[in-house]
Amino acid sequence: MKLASIVILTFLLSGCSMMPKLTSAKPKFPEPFTDQKTQEMPKCEDLKMVPADTNNLSSVFKIIVENYTLYWKCSNQVDGWKEWYEEQKKIYDSK
Amino acid sequence: MCPYINTYMWMLSFLPDFVIHLIFIAGVLGTIAGFVLGFIPMISRYKLPIQVISLVLLSAGLWFEGGLANEARYKAEHERLKAEIVRKEAEAKALNTKLSAASAERDAAIADRGDKIIQTVDRYIKGDPVQIVKEINLSDEERAKLQQQIEELQKAEKECKIPSLLIEQVNAAAERPQGAKKP
């Protein structure tokens, strides 16, 4: 009788450890930041071409400066994404 | 065994907590009575049934008490996680607003700088060098140097032809490389 009681008790007590595991709820993956004007994810534009009939320096110079501007804008976006990832990761990993 | 656990534990959802406590207490008292107080004549008469029933009650009571405790812990943790998720989502949203504004500000500064450079060179090319250097606050030496540079630029603008081959090569370098994704 005593042995049976011990076996039954041990068996039933083991049920406590079989309760469903604690919830594994996670925050949603953060939305990417968007361009304030277009409300879309920022993109790197294609570089501008020099028109084939260009015959003066200033036109070439203008295209070059515009292309540098596009480069820096794209660089700004890449840096922005890196910052976004690092900061969002900090929030995601925070307790 | 595990799949059956939840089948029994669903009882927790409709059994009031005090019923579970009562089952447990009855089990404890019955066990004490059945195993320790066997010398009392009235108890000794029903010793075996008391022992069996109280052990069943004690086991069930222990089982559900364990379930209750675990459920309380589960609920508390669930609430904590829910609050944490809400906080993190709000923080992520606020960060997006901040980053989007900062990026737009940097973009505007970059575009403004490019425009200013183009406007300045355009002015150097089209304007009168003497007049232009007069409007800029410079030392005599710097002014003379800038005037010479502007004259040099204006001369190059008039006289230098851009070879078409150079334009082709510049454009080739500006083209999106093969295999690179188009935005």
- Least Cα distance to A89 among A33, A29, A25, A41 occurs for A29
Minimal Cα–Cα distance from A52 to chain B, Å?
7
Can you tell me whether residue B139 is helix, strand or coil? coil
Q: Tell me the two tokens of residue B68.
A: 């209750």
Distance CA A76, CA B101 (A): 12
- Least Cα distance to B171 among A92, A15, A87, A53 occurs for A53
CA distance to A23, B18, B51, B67, per residue, from B58 (Å)? 29, 15, 10, 14
Q: Which residue has the tokens 């150097």?
A: B124
Distance CA A86, CA B180 (A): 26
Q: What is the pLDDT of residues A2-11, one digit of tens each?
A: 776 676 666 5
- For the four alpha carbons of B122, B125, B131 and B136, in that order, the dihedral sign comes to positive
Q: What is the pLDDT of residue A86?
A: 95
Q: What is the pLDDT of residues A22-50, one digit of tens each?
A: 556 677 888 887 777 777 887 889 999 99
Q: What is the pLDDT of residue B145?
A: 94
Q: What is the pLDDT of residue A13?
A: 58
Residues of B whose CB is below 8 A from A26: 85
For residue A65, the one-letter residue type is: V
Geometric angle at alpha carbon B171, from B166 and B173, rounded to 5°: 100
For residues A43 and B89, the answer to whether their CB atoms sit within 8 Å is no
CA distance to A56, B10, B79, per residue, from A20 (Å)? 76, 12, 16
Q: Do B63 and A8 make contact, defined as CB atoms within 8 angstroms?
A: no
Band the pLDDT of A88: cuts 50, 70, 90. very high
Distance CA A70, CA B176 (A): 13
Assess B111–A contact: CB distance below 8 Å, yes or no. yes
Band the pLDDT of A57: cuts 50, 70, 90. very high
Band the pLDDT of A94: cuts 50, 70, 90. confident
What ipTM was estimated for this complex? 0.72
Distance CA A82, CA A24 (A): 28
Q: Tell me the two tokens of residue B23.
A: 């089952």
Length of chain B in terms of residues written: 183
Distance CA B29, CA B41 (A): 17
Q: What is the pLDDT along chain B (183 residues), one digit of tens a residue?
A: 344 455 556 666 677 888 889 999 999 999 998 888 777 877 788 888 888 999 999 998 998 898 888 888 988 998 999 999 999 999 999 999 999 899 999 999 999 999 999 999 999 999 999 999 988 888 999 999 999 999 999 999 999 889 999 999 999 999 988 877 766
By CB neighbour count within 10 A (0-12 exposed, 13-18 middle, 19+ buried), where does B9 fall? Answer: buried
Question: Residue B102: which H helix or E strand, with range?
Answer: helix B47-126
Q: What is the pLDDT of residue B3?
A: 45
Q: What is the pLDDT of residue B24?
A: 93
Q: Do B66 and A35 make contact, defined as CB atoms within 8 angstroms?
A: no
Q: What is the pLDDT of residue B121?
A: 96
Q: What is the pLDDT of residue B2?
A: 43
CB count within 10 Å of CB A47 equals 19
Q: What is the pLDDT of residues A63-74, one digit of tens each?
A: 999 999 999 999
Q: What is the pTM of this model?
A: 0.69
How many residue pairs from chains A and B have C-beta atoms closer than 8 A? 168
B78 closest CB neighbour out of A8, A23, A56: A23
Residues of B whose CB is below 8 A from A29: none
Q: What is the pLDDT of residue B5?
A: 52
CA distance to A16, A22, A24, A53, B11, per residue, from B77 (Å)? 17, 7, 10, 71, 21
Distance CA B56, CA B127 (A): 104
